Amino acid sequence: MYSELIAQIKSKKELKGIPDKYIAENLKKFLPDGKKISKKDEKIILKTIRRELRKMSGRYHISSTKEHLSTKERMPFYPLLNKRIAMLAPKRILDLGAGQNPLYQATKDIEYYAYDINEQDVAKVKAYFSSEGIIGKTKVTDITQESSFPEVDLVLAYKILDIIDKKGHANATKILRLLKTTYLLASFPTISLSGKRMQTIRRLWFEKALTTNSYSFETFSSSNELFYLARRTDKVSSTG
């Protein structure tokens, strides 16, 4: 039964790159015994799971270009982001929920780890690393299920930390505790998907979590994102 539902879910272009095992895990939450259900219930379940997978797959694709919407929106701001990153002089970067972001931020002088749940995006990034001679590693994964992360100098987490939890921030705070990094550059949207400016811009829960995990931070903004640049204030081992 799962195979039929998985096929229906992946009939949506933006979800084709999600591995079957992750979709099956979501289905088991609603159908633990795999029994048949009514068409009405099936429709509700499919709609709910597609909505959650779009969040995890991330950043909402533009189907005509296969490019992430937020990546396109961030395009004018990449020069400033790359300049700030260069000032940190990282030798290793971990990109969580990377999508196609590495195509614009990975360079030959940095070892780059790209983690994402979408197989198609990961394949594109992997091919890019190979063609450009970039030392990088890619991984298809649900970052909420990871128990450890590689030790790096900088972690990028663009528009991912506030969408990986249905309620509260348990997954986000767990990931923050697991990171082995000196710097963290995270962003959050300031414009809703409907195009309206959000009433609450700052993420106070995130600021509290940063402080709890021994990070100092500063913020800066683009036209549609709030960025937190955080630095560990306790001792962390150097990656190089």
**What percent of the chain clears pLDDT 90, i.e. is strictly above it?**
55
For 7-27, what is the mean pLDDT?
A: 74
pLDDT at 61: 42
Contact by Cβ (8 Å): 101, 125: no
| Residue-level pLDDT at 45 | 78
Work out whether strand 225-232 and strand 183-189 pair parallel, antiparallel, or are unpaired.
Answer: antiparallel
Output the six-digit token pair for 100. Answer: 């196609």
Q: Judge residue 166's burial from the number of C-beta atoms within 10 Å of its C-beta, 0-12 exposed, 13-18 middle, 19 or more buried.
A: exposed
Global pTM value:
0.75
Give dist(CA 126, CA 129) in Å, integer: 5
Q: Which of 18-32, 51-65, 140-154 has the highest mean pLDDT?
A: 140-154
pLDDT of residue 36: 72
Higher pLDDT, 192 or 115: 115
Which H helix or E strand runs over 231?
strand 225-232
Interval 6-24 mean pLDDT: 74
- Whether the predicted pLDDT of 153 surpasses 90: yes
- pLDDT tens-digit profile of 76-134? 899 999 999 999 999 999 999 999 999 999 999 999 999 998 888 999 999 999 999 99
Identify the CA nearest to 217 among candidates 189, 177, 185.
185
* Overall residue count recorded for the chain in this entry: 240
Nearest alpha-carbon partner for 27 in 12, 11, 42 = 42
Q: Which residue has the higher pLDDT, 151 or 12?
A: 151
Which has the closest alpha carbon to 99: 130, 72, 134, 64?
Answer: 72
